[in-house]
Structure 1
């Protein structure tokens, strides 16, 4: 068949070619109902659909069912190595249900609401968002619009939307406990932006872990973002305005790499002169010099669980806006040692 004619192929044509009823084809091509069809009939329908070049009419299906079989995903920085595995987890869950994923890179939070409005206009069935800020007005907008949405990697502090996150406070406790056990007492922190929940929770985690050990934070500098450049700027500020600490807990791995840059400039050796820890265990941090001690997170599972929660919301199975917290683990490498 001429590929230009494929749009004219209907479900009735597929049914006639496969020798089955139209309703059988409808069930066979529906991921939620294909389990009701025998393997033999399923194969016959799929072969006929492929041979004829049949493409499901998503618009007609959406009008009939009220669903478009699409979800939107909003990420704050697609260049950050944390987010691709989260997206992989979301896409794996979506693919298993026959859903398509629209991804938006929200580089500036001001753009978030217009992007969500555009996705509303596209009639996506729900959203997975990794962009929540503290007291985020976007959460109000989504709630009022009646959209199904789940947060990932960052939780809404008000608990209005369900979320899947890693335990930020435990992550920082693991890093601090490791440094204290290694003999460090003057411990500083390169903190994440205090406008986002992860920045606040990780800073609180460092402070609490130190208090539990009878110590105080030696010094702290806030990063403007979770980037290498922001980490370098914060490390310069920390060194210029304070007595040099024995060790620094960094809010993420990119920030730790920025700290490495500044320490190299100033001929301060890691870990001989100062120990450094990161957070995320992003790809290749085991290849830097020295390999980075960091916190490993189940990023792909974060994405998969968030999507599963969203589909429960869409199917009306979710009971309440719950927060799922996944456990981080410490990975000790060569950027930490006894002072």
Structure 2
């Protein structure tokens, strides 16, 4: 068996580099490296590599009472929404020497509670939560805990933790203005779950935009979850109750794909019979048929903003409440002016030129 390699100390690196050991500590820490002359940083890093120095993070944590770990909790790690958000968070935190630990609640409150407890027990320095419910008893348990919290993509009704969000009121307004500009009057909304801020706020945005356009009491069907299947069921219910609907504003892209399925099941075409808009601009939404008109916000920017906000809170700085990211409408092939034949009963496609029913592109 090979002999165990002796541990190289920070003092040995300092002696070999010809600097004080405190300079080595500052030069090797992303949080303090900018305070050291770049030439000295390069010399210290080269010396540390040559000697095989590894920082003793456990000892550093005991000394500073900081773990340099941040917990990120998401509701569904398989969602296409989170990779770019996570990239923005990790890149920003790594620049300051923080490691990100990611956990998935699967939208289970008890699992959420266990994850938060485990992360705080492991002394994470802060938490970024994409898992908050609108009325969140689990979150209430940790808002006054030892780790500062920042919410992302969702918020709760207490307002005690700052959040980084898309401006959902404006985003849904953009979709409504686009459809109204095309000539649609009979517009319905497939809403997300009202237990989540994204579902509730986008529904409010739909109602507000309808009122601003002089179209009150527009029909709404609430989906049980932000999933394609829930979108199909909600859209089917909407069309059953309001068969003359010519456009549907869906609260997210997966719900919009469910609307495609509901239309196909009725022999209706998008956008020939019913136009559809989504929200989020997830990857591949330009590759479905028809390509989805949707509301986009910059996912990576959302992650980076949340990380910067948490860094400020961990440093004890005052923060100025929520950060709203400006959305934009991405125009694609799922919206068009309404057909002249709007009196259908839902038993089949209206007469006239139609696109084929939507299908996945290969």
Mean CA deviation greater in 231-240 or 169-178:
231-240
Query: TM-score when scaled to structure 2?
Result: 0.89
User: What is the root-mean-square deviation in Å for CA atoms of aligned residues?
Assistant: 1.8
1:263 shift after superposition: 1.3
Distance 1:305 1:7, change over 3 A: farther
CA distance in 2, matches of 1:115, 1:73: 10
Alpha-carbon spacing, 1:259–1:95, altered in 2? closer, same or farther (3 Å): same
| Residue matched to 2:268 | 268
Q: CA deviation at 1:299?
A: 1.2
Pick which of 121-130 and 143-152 moved more: 143-152
Q: Measured at CA, do residues 49 and 273 of structure 1 come closer, stay the same or move farther in structure 2, by a change above 3 Å?
A: same
* Secondary structure, aligned partner of 1:144: coil
Deviations along 1:54-111, whole A, 9 cap, x unmatched? 2111111111111111101011112211111111111111011011100111112321
Corresponding residue for residue 38 of structure 2: 39
Structure 2 unpaired stretches of 5+: 339-362
| Contact 1:191/1:223 (8 A) holds in 2 | yes
Please give the alpha-carbon distance, in whole angstroms, between the structure 2 residues aligned to 1:235 and 1:81: 22
Task: Give the SS at the match of 1:190.
Answer: strand
Q: What does residue range 101-140 of structure 1 map to in structure 2 within 5 Å?
A: 101-107=100-106, 108-140=108-140
Question: What is the alpha-carbon distance in structure 1 between the residues aligned to residue 331 and residue 2 of structure 2?
Answer: 56
Q: What SS does the corresponding residue of 2:180 show, helix, strand or coil?
A: helix
Normalized per residue, the structure richer in helix is 1
Cα offset, 1:298, TM superposition: 1.4
Q: Provide runs of 4+ in structure 1 moved above 6 Å.
A: none
Matched residue pairs, number? 337
Deviations 1:260-292 (A, max 9, x none): 122122210000100000001111111111111
5+ residue gaps in structure 1?
none
2:231 alignment partner in structure 1: 231
* Secondary structure of the corresponding residue to residue 308 of structure 1: helix
The answer for the alignment partner of 1:186 in structure 2 is 186
Query: 2:285 is matched with which residue?
Result: 285
Map of 1:204 onto structure 2: 204
Q: Are residues 19 and 162 of structure 1, via their aligned partners in 2, closer, same or farther at CA, if it must alter by over 3 Å?
A: same
